[in-house]
Amino acid sequence: KVLILDFGSQYTQLIARRVRELNIYSEIHPFNKIPTNIDAYKAVILSGSPNSVRGEDALHPDLSEIRGKKPMLAVCYGAQYLAHFSGGEVAPSNTREYGRANLSFIKNDEPFFATLSEGSQVWMSHSDTIKSLPTNGVLLASTNDVKNAAYKIEGESTYAIQFHPEVYHSTDGKQLLENFLVKIADLKQDWTPDSFVEETVAAIKEKVGNDKVVLGLSGGVDSTVAAVLLNKAIGENLYCIFVNNGLLRKDEFSSVLKQYEGMGLNVKGVDASERFLEALKGLEDPELKRKAIGNSFIEVFDDEAHKLTDVKWLAQGTIYPDVIESVSATGGPSATIKSHHNVGGLPDFMKLKIVEPLRAIFKDEVRRVGATLGIDPELLGRHPFPGPGLGIRILGDITAEKVQMLQEVDAIFINGLKEWGLYDKVWQAGAMLLPVNSVGVMGDERTYEKCVALRAVESTDGMTADWVNLPYEFLQKTSNDIINKVKGVNRVVYDISSKPPATIEWE
């Protein structure tokens, strides 16, 4: 496997994903927490960083067990770090070194540059530049503006590049990573969804043995794939609980439950709608609503889990981005915008051991593993849906009547996206019921009814997002359908805000 040392670059996760796309397993660790079992890693990649090697906040990794001992690729900050502290020179750059550039010189008898040719486009993003190479440095590539764009250290398997091979705009970036990992570090490309399933099933069997495991299904991709993996490993000893919080999409509880049963999962559907509605009564503040929903879920889940005897483990669908320890250049904690994801959500009196079969993989990998496991592609391609569900899409207080109204609106919107072939072009979509009444006119009568906002965004991880340019004809038809079919709604608007400064959900 490959060790990626993170210096806080926004692209670190991309490096890991590119490496994995080459069917080689990689892990990200903070630059100052190098794993003690370093022998387990056959190659090391140093990431970029927002910091400067010349500043007081330069980040210093301890490379004593790595440099010269195993193949190492230093990207951007990494390349500058090696230069600056090993006999070279790094200085602020005079020319603009952001964005597109082309390699004007390549030392192409190097295996590192095999199959690349001059002119290859690379992506730069740095404000310091390497003025002179470190001791024993050999120049490997240049662009017109950046002479020292790539170098190696004579006598070591150490390579350094100023540009970012992990980003899509570096056209041959993936080839370069492959050259380094396969030709230089001699890694095998055998990490595939199939091998992941095989290894994970064996690991679960080993870890859990004949114990019973309980898992909460949400209808989403992660918990479903986790359940199918566990089911493959331990069969009937896996007990799944699927809670209806009354805030799911229209007919979702019954249809997803059926689907789960069809997949051979040992699942119990628990309709707790009333209990959630009761807990939400009169609450208007988004964070209080989230808390009420989170707490009710814990109570319901706990009640159900206690009905099972001898359960030793709790399985969760945690995925790799939730696990990676982040490197913060500024140090301080970031402000809580929303208390997402109900992290750490279970009461410790349950005292269950945790099993998380997806903790090593990214979302797109979860989908590929799901496909290998034969899970319905429609389920795997589902848009993300927040845990508190429609509870945070009904602005202000929640009533059964509002839930039903929004379920109808949402169903028209989502089914329309599917019918028009737009669903898969959108990362997430939904409707918000606004706490606003406005005047309308229907059949010569005055109406004074609710307004709904439709939202459809493109994104890769939900951290940033932009609204989708849906065809006017689609919006026109959808708006018409909603106003004609859903009683109580007389106005539809489309949300054209990006994140930031807005967020995806309205609450």
Catalytic site residue 76? yes
Pull the structure tokens for residue 499.
């994140």
Distance CA 409, CA 195 (A): 43
Q: Which is nearer to ligand XMP, 260 or 385 (CB)?
A: 385
Check whether 372 is labelled as a binding-site residue. no
Residue 26 assigned to a binding site:
no
Question: 320 to 379, contacts with ligand XMP by CB under 6 A?
Answer: 338, 340-341
Which residue reads 């990006």 in tokens?
A: 498
Would strands 137-143 and 98-106 be described as parallel, antiparallel, or unpaired?
Answer: antiparallel
- Judge contact between 494 and 470, C-beta under 8 A: yes
249 binding ligand XMP? (CB under 6 A): no
Binding residues with ligand XMP: total (CB under 6 A): 15
Q: Is 331 annotated as a binding residue?
A: no
199 an active-site residue? Answer: no
CA–CA gap between residue 62 and residue 34 (Å, rounded): 8
Alpha helices in 326-383 (DSSP H): 363-372, 377-380
Q: Are 15 and 166 in contact (CB under 8 A)?
A: yes
Q: Which stretch binds ligand XMP (CB under 6 A): 170-178, 301-309, 471-479, 497-505?
A: 497-505
224 assigned to a ligand binding site:
yes
Q: Which of 268, 354, 266 lies closest to 312 in space, CA to CA?
A: 354
The helix or strand, by DSSP H or E, that contains position 91, with its residue range, turns out to be strand 89-92
Question: How many CA atoms within 13 Å lie on the side-chain side of 261?
Answer: 8
Among 39-47, 169-177, 347-355, 387-395, the segment contacting ligand XMP (CB under 6 A): 387-395
Residues in the chain: 507
Tell me if the bond preceding 500 is cis, omega within 30° of 0: yes
**Which residue lies nearer to ligand XMP by CB, 287 or 302?**
287
Catalytic status, residue 178:
no
Quote the CA–CA distance of 284 and 115 in Å, as a whole number: 61
Q: How far apart are CA 176 and CA 102, in angstroms?
A: 15
Please give the full DSSP string across 186-200, using - where no structure is assigned. Answer: -------HHHHHHHH
- Shortest Å distance, C-beta 299 to ligand XMP: 18
**Stretch binding ligand XMP (CB under 6 A), from 153-161, 194-202, 235-243, 380-388:** 380-388
Encoded one letter per residue, x for contact with ligand XMP by CB under 6 A and - for no contact, window 148-167 reads --------------------
What is the per-residue binding string for ligand XMP in 430-469, x denoting contact by CB under 6 A?
A: --------------------------------x-------
Residues 6+ apart with CB under 8 A from 107: 113, 138, 139, 140, 141
Coil, helix or strand at residue 26:
strand
Residue 221 labelled as part of a binding site: yes
Site for ligand XMP in 401-430 (CB under 6 A): 428
Q: Is 504 in the site for ligand XMP (CB under 6 A)?
A: yes
SS3 54: coil
Q: Which is nearer to ligand XMP, 6 or 505 (CB)?
A: 505
Closer CB to ligand XMP, 410 or 505, in the complex:
505
Contact with ligand XMP (CB under 6 A): which of 269, 321, 384, 440?
Answer: 384
Q: Is 289 in the site for ligand XMP (CB under 6 A)?
A: no
Phi-psi region of 136 (alpha: psi -120 to 50; beta: other; left: phi over 0): left
Q: Is 57 annotated as a binding residue?
A: no
Whose Cβ is closer to ligand XMP: residue 222's or residue 365's? 222
Sequence-distant (≥ 6) Cβ neighbours of residue 291 within 8 angstroms: 339
Closest approach of Cβ 330 to ligand XMP, in Å? 21
Q: How far is the CB of 387 from ligand XMP (least distance, A)?
A: 3
Binds ligand XMP (CB under 6 A): choice among 8, 216, 388, 416: 388
From the candidates 76, 97, 110, 240, which is the catalytic residue?
76
- Answer yes or no whether residue 220 interacts with ligand XMP by CB under 6 A: no
For residue 209, how many C-alpha atoms fall within 13 Å in the half-sphere facing its CB? 4
Q: Is 36 marked within a binding site?
A: no
* Residues involved in catalysis: 76, 164, 166
Applying CB under 6 A, the residues found at the interface with ligand XMP are 290, 338, 340-341, 384, 386-388, 392, 428, 462, 499, 503-505
Q: Residues at the annotated binding site for ATP?
A: 218-224
Q: Residues at the annotated binding site?
A: 218-224
